[in-house]
Amino acid sequence: MPPGGWFSRHKPESDLPEGLWSKCERCERIVFVRDLERNLKVCPHCDYHHRLTAWERIEMLTEPGSFSEWDADLRSSDPLGFPEYPEKLEKDRQKTGLTDAAVSGCGSIGAHRVSMGLTDFRFRAGAMNSVVGERLTRAVERAVDERLPVLLVSGTGGGASMYEGILSLMQMPKTSVALARHHDLGLLFISLLTDPTMAGVYASWASLGDLTLAEPGATIGFTGSRVSKQAQAHVGRRPANYQTAEFQQDRGMVDRVVPRKDLKATLEKLLDWTA
Amino acid sequence: MPEALMKLLDAKDHPLLSVEIGEVNRMRRHALDFEKPIAEVEANIASLKQITEGIGEDRTEEIRELELLLEHITREIFSNLSAWDKVQMARHELRPYTMDYVRLIFDDFVEIHEDRHFGDDPAMVGGMATLDGERVMVIGHQKGRDAKERAYRNFGSAKPEGYRKALRLAQMAEKFRRPLLCFVDTPAADCTVEAEERGISESIARNMRDFALLKIPTMSIVIGEGGSGGAVGIATTNRVAMLEHSIYSIIPPEGCAAILWRDPDRAPEAAEALKLTAEHALRFGVVDEVIEEPMGGAHRNYDETARRVKASIQRHLSELKGLSGGDLVQSRYERFRRLGEWYEEGRASIAVAGG
Ligand SMILES: [Zn+2]
C-alpha cells in the first residue's frame, strides 16, 4: 500500500465535498480529507466505511496498472420506454463519468489474474439493469473460457432496476446461470458485499460466492421497508443490527466481515489457498 | 354498456335479480369492477334457467338473447384490459391456484413437506405426480382461498424453507430422471425478519443457480402473479409459459408508485410503465408461450383453463424429451443468457432482445 495517493487517479469522482476537510457521514465529526483518503475512506473516529467508487475499489484491490476494462461500449437502450429513464441515465453519466452502474475487467490481485465486476452506487444507486447484467455475465463467461477466479463487488441500493422492469429481473437468473457454469467447473467465485447490497442483487449473484465477504457496517438485506407493507409491519421486531454485515455474519449468510484495510491481504490469502 | 343490459339492470323490480344461485353469486360477490356487467348478466341467465327448469315457465328465448349479450360484453371488456386490470385479474380471489391445477391436470399426487433444514412452508407446495401416466415432479406457490387459509399460506409468499423444499424436490426429480413442473403464483418472496434471518436471498439465488444445472426437462408456468425474486426462485427452467391474464414483474405496481411518486394510488400508471403483462413478457423473450384463457378469464372455467395448461405442458415436455441432460443444461443456459436489451456504442442497431 502506498502511503496516501490511493485514489489519486480518480479524485474528481469522489463522493466527498471538495476542500481540505469534510464531515463523516455517520458520526458527523470533522475529518481532514487527506486523512480520510489515507485511511481508505474509513472514518478515523467511528470506523464508518464510506462508499467507494468502482474505480477506487479497483485501485485499492488490484496491482497498479494491471486492470483492463471490458465491454465499456455497452449502453442501456431504455427497453420499456420508462418515463424519464434516459434523462436519469444521462444525468448519472455526467455526474460519475461512468457509462453504467457496473465496471468489469481483468486485473491482478497479488499473483492472481482475476475476472472482476463491480457495481457503483453513485450510478442509479448501483441498480442492476440489462447493461449491468450483461457486463457481469460476460465477465463470468470470460472467466469460464480462461479458467479464472471471479470477484464480484456489490454496492446496490435497489437491487434490480425498476426502470427496465422484467428485463432487469431476468438479469438475476442470467447472472446466476453464468455463475452455475463457472461453479460447475470447480472455479472460485468470491462475492464482496459493500454498502449497500439489497434485493435482486443480494438475491442473485451476490449470494452465490464460494466465499462471501462483507465490509463492516454495510447494509445487506432482501427488502427495504419502503418497498413492502409486510416489511414495514416488522420494523418493531428487528434486532438492532438488522440487515447489516454483522447481522448477516451472525446468521451464517456472510463468511467473514473484513475491515477495508485488510481486504486485499485477505483476498490474496483466499486466492492463494484455492489456486 | 349495451342497451339491452342497461334496460335489464334498470328494472329494479325485476324479480330475477333477487334470485340467489351459488356459483354465479360467488362470481358476483368477488367480481372486479370491470367484471360487474358480466357477473350481472351471468346472474340473470342463471335465474332464467332456474325459472325455466324449476317452475316450467319457458324463458329460453330471453336466455339465448342474454347469452349473446354476455358473449358480446365479455369480448368487449376483455379486448380492452389495461395493465392494471390484468394485475387485478392475476390477483383475482377466484383464480385457480397451484393445487387446483394439481387436482385437474395430474393423478396420484403425493405431497412432500420437508426442506430438511427448518420446517414446512405452506406457501410452497410440491410432490410426485403422474401426467397421463408419465411420472413428474410438481412444485408451486400456493395461495389461500379464504381469510384463514390465506394467512396459513402466507398469501403465497414463500420463506427460505419453501425455496429449499423446492430445490430438494427439483434435485430429487433429477435423481430419478423425472421432468420438473413449477407453478408460479406469488406476490413476492416473504420479507419478514425471520425470512431475512434464515437467508431468503441466498435461498432464491441458490435455486436459480442449481436449477440451471438440472439434467432433466424443466418448465414453469406463471398462473397468476409472477412476483419478482419470489417468482424467479422457481422459474429458471427450460421453458416458461404464462397464462394470458397473469403478470410478471420486478416490483408490485404499488411499490413502484410509492418509490417513483411517493403515492401508491398511482399504481395503475406504474403497472402500465412496468410492462408487466404476458404480452410484453412474450415480446421480451421472457416467456416462450402465452396460454390463452377461456373467455372471461381462468376463474370462469377451471376445467378449460387446466386443459389448456396441460396441453402446453405436454407439448413442451415432448419437445424437450429427445434432449440429453447436457443439452438441456446448455439450451437452458442459452435461453436465459440472451435476456436483456442494450446496444453497443458506435453500432447502429440494438444488439439483443429476447430472441
Ligand atoms: Zn465517523
Q: What confidence tier does A5 reach under pLDDT thresholds 50, 70, 90?
A: very low
Q: Do B342 and A172 touch (CB under 8 A)?
A: no
Could you tell me whether strands A256-257 and B107-111 are parallel, antiparallel, or unpaired per DSSP bridges?
A: unpaired
- Coil, strand, or helix at residue B121? coil
Q: What local confidence, expressed as pLDDT, does residue A234 receive?
A: 65
Cβ contacts of A251 on chain B, cutoff 8 Å: 196-199
B103 within a domain of the structure (yes/no): yes
Q: Average pLDDT in the A61-84 region?
A: 94
Q: Do B191 and A231 touch (CB under 8 A)?
A: yes
Rounded CA separation B323/A192 (Å): 37
Report the number of distinct structural domains present in chain A: 2
Helices and strands in chain A, H and E counts: 10, 11
B296 within a domain of the structure (yes/no): yes
Identify the closest residue of chain B to A221 by CA–CA distance. B196
Alpha-carbon distance A112 to nearest alpha carbon in chain B (angstroms): 26
B20 and B165 in one domain?
Answer: no
A46 and A65 in one domain?
Answer: no
Q: Do A130 and B258 touch (CB under 8 A)?
A: no
A122 and A17 in one domain?
Answer: no
| pLDDT at position A7 over 60 | no
A230 and A158 in one domain?
Answer: yes
B115 and B70 in one domain?
Answer: no
C-alpha cell of residue A63: 496491482
Contacts of B149 (CB under 8 A, 6+ apart): none
Q: Do A204 and B205 touch (CB under 8 A)?
A: yes
- The count of residues in chain B is 355
Q: Do A73 and B249 touch (CB under 8 A)?
A: no
A60 and A38 in one domain?
Answer: no
Which residue carries 356459483 as its cell? B23
| Whole-number Cα distances in Å, B332 to A7, B215, B338 | 42, 10, 10
B350 within a domain of the structure (yes/no): no
CATH of the domain at B302: 3.90.226.10
Cβ contacts of B210 on chain A, cutoff 8 Å: 180
Residue A126: HSE in the Cβ half-sphere, 13 Å Cα cutoff: 30
Q: Average pLDDT in the A71-95 region?
A: 94
DSSP letter assigned to residue A1: -
What ipTM was assigned to the predicted interfaces of this complex? Answer: 0.90
Report the number of distinct structural domains present in chain B: 2
Alpha-carbon distance B32 to nearest alpha carbon in chain A (angstroms): 23
- Coil, strand, or helix at residue B194? helix
- Coil, strand, or helix at residue B313? helix
DSSP letter assigned to residue A17: P
Alpha-carbon distance B79 to nearest alpha carbon in chain A (angstroms): 22
A45 and A64 in one domain?
Answer: no
Which residue carries 473484513 as its cell? A258
Alpha-carbon distance A239 to nearest alpha carbon in chain B (angstroms): 9
B66 and B96 in one domain?
Answer: no
A160 and A257 in one domain?
Answer: yes
More confident: A271 or B58: A271
B310 and B192 in one domain?
Answer: yes
B11 and B118 in one domain?
Answer: no
Domain that holds residue B32: 3-80
Pair A100, A161: CB distance under 8 Å: no
Which H or E element spans position B218?
Answer: strand B218-227
B75 and B95 in one domain?
Answer: no
Identify the closest residue of chain A to B350 by CA–CA distance. A77
Cβ contacts of A169 on chain B, cutoff 8 Å: 228-229, 231-232, 248-250
The candidate with the shortest Cα–Cα distance to A204, out of B188, B207, B115, B336, is B207
CATH of the domain at A246: 3.90.226.10
B132 and B112 in one domain?
Answer: yes
| pTM attached to this predicted model | 0.91
Sign of CA dihedral B41, B43, B49, B54: negative
More confident: A274 or A6: A274
C-alpha R_g of chain B: 22
Rounded CA separation B66/B5 (Å): 8
Rounded CA separation B304/B319 (Å): 23
Residue B196 contacts A, CB cutoff 8 Å: yes
Residue A76 pairs in a beta bridge with B342
B92 and B15 in one domain?
Answer: no
Which residue carries 424453507 as its cell? B161
Rounded CA separation B190/B124 (Å): 11
A209 and A84 in one domain?
Answer: yes
Identify the closest residue of chain A to B211 by CA–CA distance. A177
A242 and A138 in one domain?
Answer: yes
A105 and A32 in one domain?
Answer: no
Pair B220, B235: CB distance under 8 Å: yes
| pLDDT at position A8 over 60 | no
Q: Where are the beta strands (DSSP E) in A87-221?
A: 102-109, 112-119, 150-156, 189-198, 211-214, 220-221
Q: What confidence tier does A235 reach under pLDDT thresholds 50, 70, 90?
A: low
B351 within a domain of the structure (yes/no): no
B279 and B302 in one domain?
Answer: yes
B280 within a domain of the structure (yes/no): yes
B172 within a domain of the structure (yes/no): yes
Last residue of a domain, one of A10, A25, A50: A50
Q: Which residues surround ligand 1, an ion (CB under 5 A)?
A: A 24, 26-27, 43, 45-46, 48
Cβ contacts of B212 on chain A, cutoff 8 Å: 173, 176-177, 180-181
Residue A220 pairs in a beta bridge with A197
A171 and A66 in one domain?
Answer: yes
Pair B340, A75: CB distance under 8 Å: no
Q: What local confidence, expressed as pLDDT, does residue A13 receive?
A: 45
B348 within a domain of the structure (yes/no): no
B106 and B63 in one domain?
Answer: no
- N-to-C CA span, chain A: 23
| Cα A20 to averaged position of ligand 1 atoms, centre (Å) | 16
Residue B230: HSE in the Cβ half-sphere, 13 Å Cα cutoff: 31
The mean-pLDDT minimum among A25-34, A61-70, B313-322 falls in: A25-34
Burial class (CB in 10 A: 0-12, 13-18, 19+), B165: buried
Q: What would the 3-class secondary structure string for A247-262 be?
A: HHHHCCCCCEECCHHH
Rounded CA separation B337/B145 (Å): 37
A106 and A8 in one domain?
Answer: no
Alpha-carbon distance B123 to nearest alpha carbon in chain A (angstroms): 15
B281 and B142 in one domain?
Answer: yes
| pLDDT at position A59 over 60 | yes
Q: Do B213 and A180 touch (CB under 8 A)?
A: yes
Q: Do B337 and A177 touch (CB under 8 A)?
A: yes
What's the average pLDDT block by block, 10 residues per block, for chain B (355 residues)? 50 44 82 92 88 83 92 92 96 97 97 86 97 97 96 96 97 97 97 92 98 98 96 98 97 91 92 96 97 95 97 97 96 97 75 44
Q: Do B201 and A176 touch (CB under 8 A)?
A: no
Last residue of a domain, one of A28, A50, A72: A50
Last residue of a domain, one of B80, B111, B140: B80
Q: Do A172 and B232 touch (CB under 8 A)?
A: yes
Q: Where are the beta strands (DSSP E) in A25-149?
A: 30-32, 68-70, 74-76, 102-109, 112-119
Q: Average pLDDT in the A245-271 region?
A: 95
Residue B83 contacts A, CB cutoff 8 Å: no
Percent of chain A with pLDDT over 70: 88
Q: What local confidence, expressed as pLDDT, does residue B14 receive?
A: 46
Last residue of a domain, one of B30, B58, B80: B80
Alpha-carbon distance B49 to nearest alpha carbon in chain A (angstroms): 45
Q: Do A204 and B191 touch (CB under 8 A)?
A: no
B142 and B213 in one domain?
Answer: yes
B349 within a domain of the structure (yes/no): no
Q: What local confidence, expressed as pLDDT, does residue A238 receive?
A: 83
Burial class (CB in 10 A: 0-12, 13-18, 19+), A94: exposed
Pair B267, B82: CB distance under 8 Å: no
Residue B82: HSE in the Cβ half-sphere, 13 Å Cα cutoff: 11
Last residue of a domain, one of B53, B80, B107: B80
Cβ contacts of A75 on chain B, cutoff 8 Å: 342-345
Which H or E element spans position B125?
Answer: strand B124-131
Domain that holds residue A201: 52-274
Which residue carries 332464467 as its cell? B48
Q: Do B250 and A77 touch (CB under 8 A)?
A: no
Q: What local confidence, expressed as pLDDT, does residue B47 receive?
A: 86
Rounded CA separation A35/A54 (Å): 21
A45 and A74 in one domain?
Answer: no
* DSSP H stretches of helix in A50-84: 54-61
